[in-house]
Amino acid sequence: MMLNWDDPLAAPIPRVNGHKPQLKVVDAVDEPVVEVENREIVTETQVAESTPAQPQASATEVTEAASPPLEEAATQAPALRRARQPLTDEAFKPQQPVRAEDKRVINGSGDINQLAPFKYPWAWEFFINANKNHWTPLDINMAQDVHDYHHNLKPEEVHVYENVLAYLTTSDILAMRNIGLAVMEKMTAPELQIYQARQVYEEALHTWTYQHCIETIGLDQSEIYNRYRVVPEINGKIQLANRRLNDALRADIDLKNRDDLHDFVLSYTFFAGIFEGCWFYNGFSPIFALQRRGLMKGTAEQLQYIMRDEVLHCSFGIRVVRQIMQEENVKLDPQAVRDMWDEAEAAEQAYAKFLLPNPILGYNAEDHSQQFRFIANRRARQLGMEEPFPGAQNALPWLDEQSNMRKEKNFFETRVTEYQTGGALKWD
């Protein structure tokens, strides 16, 4: 027996007198393809056991059995030939050149397959800068973290470390899906899509990083990854994000409909301004608090690289939101915006109380919540909105330093993976 390479799902072809039968080569144009319904994959042994002994067929008989009736082939062949002919006989007419002014962030009429001329050169610069920031989690030495986790962390610090990772592992996959499946496809300028393609890769890289930390430390992966399903305070943030981002994921969304457009812009505002701009930015700070005391420095360095990526993601998303609002003359409903900030702040407060029921040295739940409100005001200003939490104080003045990564490194303790760009990003 031998596999029928022309149709791997078919039963094996019997050899004739120990030789491969010479099957007729069938041209799809001249001969129709015969469809076989309900075909099952069977093994050579099954065929031998289930098929009664029959006289061996000649090569000619095998060929004739595989070929359809001539009358049927003659009837179908002309139709197949017509299907391969061009749809029109009209002569090719050159199209008008793409003009930058025809491009729009969404609802544009330009050619989505033609990169230049740019209308949004800033989007291309985001892509160039992101590619200068290349790294992988394997670049950072995690040996000291393994020792710290098992010998130096107090129980309340272990609780913080594990649950920060439990939240982040789910969040970055959610971010990847939102950009790749919801936002990117709606962009009608390729320079925007190209940066977002890089962003999708980076979210996947961040997910790898959390998995690498969990695996290296020796945590129970199944238990850590499932915490968002059983811890109400982690689940609350994830469910809020899902609900807010579903307006962008809807298959039937019509961005030329003003209500749908409003919902999409509000959803993207939540994603760029809160999910990435506040929750991620603020979410790394408990690990950075450990790092400042010389603990879990490898994990913290991993998160610094992620934070730098998220700085670019947030900055890009906010700029896109503002561009859409300008081009499409969108004004967000003030009450809807107020509700967005209040829901996000309530979810973050509940998470902070769960994460830090007992303070760790240099960090507590009120610090975390206060810093969220301070960062939220910053994001609102960048979006051209009123501050949602007037008077919020900067509880962690050292947090912005973590995103800059401007520090000396011991060459023998870490690879030279310093970022080349983005260190001077301005928030206000």
3-state SS of 356-373?
CCCCECCECHHHHHHHHH
What is the rounded average pLDDT of the residues 297-311? 92
- Is 426 contained in some domain? no
CA atoms within 13 Å, Cβ hemisphere of 303: 27
Distance CA 127, CA 316 (A): 10
Same domain for 140 and 16?
A: no
Same domain for 86 and 201?
A: no
- Is 112 contained in some domain? no
Amino acid residing at 77 = A
Same domain for 378 and 299?
A: yes
What is the rounded average pLDDT of the residues 413-419? 45
Same domain for 214 and 304?
A: yes
Same domain for 89 and 146?
A: no
Distance CA 108, CA 139 (A): 41
How confident is the model at residue 35, as a pLDDT? 41
Q: Indicate whether 188 pLDDT > 90.
A: no
Task: Return phi, psi of residue 188, to 5°.
Answer: -115, 15
Summarised one tens digit per residue, pLDDT across range 307-345 is 989 989 999 999 999 999 999 999 999 999 999 999 999
- Is 105 contained in some domain? no
Amino acid residing at 395 = A
How does residue 42 score in pLDDT terms, banded at 50, 70 and 90? very low
Same domain for 380 and 251?
A: yes
Same domain for 284 and 179?
A: yes
How confident is the model at residue 180, as a pLDDT? 82
Question: Which residues, in sequence order, are CB contacts of 255 under 8 Å at separation 6+?
Answer: 106, 107, 186, 261, 264
User: Which 3 state secondary structure label does DSSP give 6?
Assistant: coil
How confident is the model at residue 33, as a pLDDT? 38
List the one residue out of 283, 286, 281 whose CA is nearest residue 310.
Answer: 281
How confident is the model at residue 428, as a pLDDT? 40
Summarised one tens digit per residue, pLDDT across range 235-250 is 999 999 999 988 777 7
How confident is the model at residue 226, as a pLDDT? 92
What is the rounded average pLDDT of the residues 4-31? 47
User: Which 3 state secondary structure label does DSSP give 160?
Assistant: helix
Same domain for 40 and 183?
A: no
CA dihedral 79, 85, 91, 97 (to 10 degrees): 120
Mean pLDDT is lowest, of 75-79, 201-205, 307-311, for 75-79
List the one residue out of 260, 248, 253, 262 whose CA is nearest residue 331.
Answer: 262
- The answer to whether the CB of 204 falls within 8 A of the CB of 274 is no
How does residue 189 score in pLDDT terms, banded at 50, 70 and 90? confident
List the one residue out of 181, 130, 96 whose CA is nearest residue 314.
Answer: 130
Indicate which CATH number applies to the domain containing 268: 1.10.620.20
Residue 30: give the domain boundaries. 1-93
- Is 100 contained in some domain? no
Q: How many separate helices (H) and strands (E) can be counted in the chain?
A: 17, 0
Same domain for 86 and 177?
A: no
Mean pLDDT of all residues belonging to the chain: 79
Percent pLDDT > 70 in the chain is 73
What's the DSSP call for residue 226? T
Q: Which of 93, 125, 156 lies at the terminal end of a domain, its last residue?
A: 93
- The answer to whether the CB of 318 falls within 8 A of the CB of 375 is no
How confident is the model at residue 60, as a pLDDT? 46
Q: Indicate whether 69 pLDDT > 80.
A: no
- The answer to whether the CB of 340 falls within 8 A of the CB of 279 is no
- The answer to whether the CB of 142 falls within 8 A of the CB of 148 is no
How confident is the model at residue 400, as a pLDDT? 82
Same domain for 69 and 151?
A: no
Structural domain total, the chain: 2
How confident is the model at residue 79, as a pLDDT? 55
Mean pLDDT is lowest, of 170-174, 224-228, 320-324, for 170-174
Mean pLDDT is lowest, of 35-39, 70-74, 102-106, for 35-39
Same domain for 68 and 209?
A: no
If one compares 76 and 93, the residue with the highest pLDDT of the two is 93
How confident is the model at residue 316, as a pLDDT? 93
Q: Which helix (H) or strand (E) holds 27?
A: none
Same domain for 295 and 352?
A: yes
